[in-house]
Every structure is written in structure tokens, then in C-alpha cells.
Chain A
Amino acid sequence: MLGTLIIVFREVIEAGLVVGIVLSVTRGLAGRMPWILGGIFLGVAGALLLAIFAGTLAAALEGIGQELFNAAVLTTAVLMLTWHNVWMARHGREIAAEIQTVGKDVARGSRSLAALAVVVGIAVLREGSEVVLFLYGVALSGHDTVAAQITGGFLGLALGAGLSAFTYLGLVAIPTRYLFAVTGMLITFLAAGMAAQAVAFLEQADVITLMTDTVWDTSWLLTDSSIAGRVLHTLIGYVDRPTGMEVVAYVAVLAAMTLISRAFAHRPTGSKLSATAAQ
């Protein structure tokens, strides 16, 4: 039971952290819950489909269907996160000031919510399909410990949900003035890590063949497969033995998102205007 619990928990760490971060990022946006829950629901539905068609997908495109699919959904998530950060750079201050309530702003907010719902859906989809395959395998094994193992699996899922709640509560404890700066950074690192992982899948598929040498090895310190390794992998994209191209993708996305967000940063027009006009 404990073994199953640990395997399932390890698989759902990424989705758990992503949901927690998205929950705190969208704090103050009206009507966010239907989007986030919708993203989770579609992610679970997609995970079931992905598990059922795992064989078909793996055999597709001359045997690299699974890798290309993973790289594609990760790239989509990176684009959505970038878009969200740009949107946040422009409107974060208004939301923090709680002046965003009705009208056009909510309509624009819902587009950002849609982007984040996609990110949540993708995180749940990727990890979820592996959980489904694993638990299905456990259920098929026919051992007398099946019930205990399935229980362990669900406890692992519950721990993942707990991680979401823990992440959310931890982040919203940050004072509102700093919250969006912190979550903006978290999202940037999340996206950079996902970009590096997309590159890893393309390397595995033999699509990227350039700069595939390992740059450093910190597996003696922290392995990717450990719980802490998984958490850091999701949060900052930690990889114990990254290749050159993964590092390039990571740094490129980190730099691009920082620069783009800065370029689109909200300029405090309204407050200054009223201050000068009042004189």
C-alpha cells in the first residue's frame, strides 16, 4: 500500500503544484473556479483517453508519437503561461487593488483564465494518464493485496490534492502587494522547466540531435526521481543531468518571459493622473 501511495504521489506532484500555483495566481479573478475545475475535469477525461490509447499513440509517427505528443502539450503550456504573465504584467496591479469587478475587465480576465485552465488540464492529463495506467495494472494483477494497493493509490491522489491546498495556502499568505510578483516568478520558472522537458522529449525521439551532451551531473546531491527532486523539477525545472539544448531552452524561455513581461508591464497612469489633476 505504501509503495503504491508513493508511486502515485510522485506522479501527481507536478499536477498538484500547478493547480496550487494557478489557484493563487487567479486569486481575485471573478468566476475562476469553473475554469480551474473544468481544466482538472478535462485533464482527467483526457488522461483516461490517453491511457486507453497509450499503445496507439506510442506506435504513431514511426514510434515517436508519445514523445512528440508530450513535447507538443508542454510547448502549449509554455505559451499559455507566457501569455498569462503578459496579461498579468498589464493587469496584476488592478487586480491586487481589487478594482477589477465587472465589465470588460472580467471578459479579458476570462481569456487569461482559459489559458490557465489549459495549463491545469495539461498537467493533469500528462501525469494522470500514468496514474491511470499504473492503477489499472495494479487492479489487473489479481493479487490479494489489490484493495490495499488501490487504497494506497487514492491516498496518493489525496496527498497530491493536499499539496495543491498547501501550495495555495502558502502562496496566499504572502501579502497581496508581493503575491503577484512571486507567482509571476513561479510561473516563469515553471514554464522554463516545461520548455526544457519538451526538449528532453524531442531528444528522446531523436528529433533534436544537437547539443545533447550532459552539461552537469548533480545526481549525487539530488536525483530527479526523488520526491524533493520532483518538486524542484516542477517548481524550477531541476534536472540532475541536463543536456546542452535543455539548458539553452530553459535560459531562453526564462529570458524571453522576463523581457516580454517587463516590456508589457503596466504603467501606473491612472493614479498619477488623478494626483496631478487634483492639484
Chain B
Amino acid sequence: MTRFARLAPAGAGRTIVPQPRGRRFQLSAALSWPLVLRNSTRIAALVLGLAATGLMPSGARAEDKLALTLKDHVFIPAELTVPAGKAFSIEVTNEDATAEEFDSDDLHVEKVIAAKSSGTIHIKPLKPGSYKFDGEYHDATAKGVLIAK
């Protein structure tokens, strides 16, 4: 509104006429902008997603797959070793009758594995070191460590 006032000739601020016009413009904008806004956000997200995925389609890389089994709320094996600097995946098989959440702050992963089912977790290339993981619902027993060398 301040812009209007500045552009208008001196004394125009006292007349009421320009004001309703400005206000009507805002109201129509209020009705139409949320849609444009939501679409543009979606488009931006899509562009970002495409840019991110364009270079490397998922599944195109050959990945080593490690097997990890959860039985009686214990991971078998409790220690996995992988080569550092190479992407890989872990197939977690949950043999228990209850679901478990595979959780690792170190690996930046959280994934629910339903009862009597399995799930694959993709891990990006790791620096050498050890990475802890656990089953969040039974973290007293379901513990393990992944070692990248």
C-alpha cells in the first residue's frame, strides 16, 4: 500500500477511491495464489527430484547384498564387514512374530520390517569405521555393528 501512496499524486491519499481497487486486487490474488503456489512448489520439487535422479537411475548399479536375520529379537550375524567406499545393500529378514524398526543413526537409516518379512536397505559408500545399528523396539537385545574397512 505504501507503494500506491508514493506513486499517487500528492493529496490522493485522502481520497478513498484508489484504496478499494487495491484491496480488490489483493482479494482475488488471495483466492488464486495458493493454487499457483502449491503447483509451483510441486514443480520445483519435481525438477529437484529429476535433477537428483537423472544422473544415476536407481537399481542401475550392481550392489553387494548382505543378509541379516532377526530372530528372537537378536541380529544374526551381529557383526557385518563391508569394503569401505563402495555402495551396498542389506537385506534384513525378520523371522519374529512382531515388527521391528531397523534403526541406525550412524548409517542414517530407519526402516520398519514387518513380522515374518524382509526389507532391503541401501547404504551409500562408507568411510572406514564402525557403524552401530539396532532394532528400536527391542534395543536391549537387537544390536549389531557394521564395520567398513
Q: Which residues of A contact B (CB under 8 A)?
A: 3, 7, 51, 54-55, 58-59, 62-63, 66-67, 75, 78-79, 82-83, 86-87, 90, 108, 129-130, 133-134, 136-137, 140-141, 200, 202-214, 219, 223-225, 240-241, 243, 245, 249, 252, 256, 260, 264, 267-269, 272-273, 276-277, 279
Cross-chain pairs A/B with CB under 8 angstroms, 15 sampled: A54-B114, A67-B111, A86-B37, A134-B99, A202-B49, A208-B49, A209-B52, A209-B53, A209-B56, A225-B105, A260-B37, A268-B1, A272-B1, A273-B16, A273-B19
Interface size on B, residues (CB 8 A): 55
CB distance from A253 to the nearest CB of B (A): 9
Q: Which of B30, B56, B103, B116 has the most CB of A within 10 A?
A: B30
CB-based contact B56/A140 at 8 Å? no
CB-based contact A206/B122 at 8 Å? yes
Q: Given A67-B111, A203-B108, A273-B19, 9 more contacts at CB 8 Å? A: A7-B139, A58-B113, A66-B119, A82-B41, A108-B30, A207-B58, A209-B52, A267-B2, A269-B19
Count of A-B contacts judged by CB separation below 8 Å: 138
Over the window 108-133 of chain B, the binary record of Cβ atoms lying under 8 Å from chain A Cβ atoms (1 yes, 0 no) is 11111111110111101000000000
CB-based contact B111/A204 at 8 Å? yes
CB-based contact A243/B108 at 8 Å? yes
Per the 8 Å Cβ criterion, residues 19-61 of B in contact with A are 19, 22-23, 26, 30, 33-34, 37-38, 41-42, 44-45, 48-49, 51-53, 55-56, 58-59
Q: Identify A204's interface contact among B108, B113, B140, CB under 8 A.
A: B108
CB-based contact A269/B1 at 8 Å? yes
CB-based contact B105/A240 at 8 Å? yes
Q: Identify B105's interface contact among A210, A223, A260, A273, CB under 8 A.
A: A223
A208 to B46, CA, bound (A): 12
CB-based contact A58/B114 at 8 Å? yes
CB distance from B95 to the nearest CB of A (A): 13
Closest residue of A by beta carbon distance from B124: A212
Point out the residues of chain B lying under 8 angstroms from A203, CB to CB. Answer: 108, 124
CB distance from A21 to the nearest CB of B (A): 21
